Amino acid sequence: MVDCAVQLYTLRGLDASVPERLELVADAGFDGVEFAYRVREESPEAVREALDRTGLDAAAAHVSIDALEDDYAATTDFYDRLGVDLLVIPWLDPSRFETAATVDAVATRLSDLAAALDRDGFRLAYHTHDHEFVALGGGSDPDASGTDPDASGTALDALLARTDERLGFEPDAGWAAVAGVDPAALIDRYADRITHVHVADADVDRGASVALGEGDVDLDAVVASARAADAAWLVYEHDDPRSPRSSIERGAAALRDALR
């Protein structure tokens, strides 16, 4: 069974505390939450109490690579106290994916972190945008296979080929579409590395986040592929909603319809 969560980045425009935002997520009908950077502005006790009060599960947390590399013990202790066991690197600069050498460097950093986290009872995943789909090795097809690290393919293909299953992959359906990639096919191809799928929509021509059903992403196909991959969580996100509260309410309804 797949559950539904909200990435709290969607609610960053609200003048509200993290516990107050969790109340809104629960009221919208979601099962869990994926934390973003601002959660560390609160005490773990206050956030844990809000999770218990609302009945929300801690689906995952987006955590910067710098926080893990520079302050590993404090960072992992904080999220352990929230009951989070999946930490997701939400962003690395596009320059990190320009060449095989820079991808190799990223793979090494993420592999080292994944190994350390695995020893400490956590899992690590990488969240994609659109810039990880640049072609490497002479490849020009964003759907090229990346099973051979030296074959033509994308920077993402190379990254996943150069790392093992301890590094998970959190695809963002909207950004994949902006990159010219079929998000459902992407989930199918890397199903064994995926437990969480960001269900977001996008206007591909504008490269902009939009409400579910208003862009170019086939939501039903994404949900079907996530189910076939045995993903545990569908994570709703809208990068720039006009009304964050309405956005998560509409997102919850769209996901419920797609899951029927």
CATH classification at residue 71: 3.20.20.150
Total of domains in the chain: 1
| Contacts with 225 (C-beta within 8 Å, 6 or more apart), sequence order | 183, 184, 185, 187, 188, 191
Find residue 124's DSSP bridge partners. Answer: 87, 167
Model pLDDT, residue 3 = 98
Range of the domain at 252: 3-259
What are 123-140's pLDDT values in tens digits? 999 999 999 999 986 443
**Average pLDDT of every residue of the chain:** 94
Model pLDDT, residue 137 = 61
Q: Averaged over 91-95, what is the pLDDT?
A: 97
What are 151-187's pLDDT values in tens digits? 549 999 999 999 999 999 999 999 999 999 999 999 9
Q: Averaged over 78-102, what is the pLDDT?
A: 97
User: Measuring CA to CA, which residue among 182, 63, 67 is closest to residue 125?
Assistant: 63
Please tell me the number of Cα atoms within 13 Å of 113 on its side-chain side.
29
Model pLDDT, residue 37 = 85
pLDDT above 60 (res 73): yes
Q: Averaged over 186-190, what is the pLDDT?
A: 98
Beta strand extents in 80-216 (DSSP E only): 86-89, 123-127, 135-136, 153-154, 167-170, 196-199, 201-203, 208-210
Burial degree of 86 (CB within 10 A; 0-12, 13-18, 19+):
buried
Output the CA–CA distances (angstroms, integers) from residue 202 to 129, 216, 249, in the order listed.
12, 6, 18
- Specify the 3-state DSSP secondary structure of 87: strand
pLDDT above 80 (res 43): yes
pLDDT above 60 (res 145): no
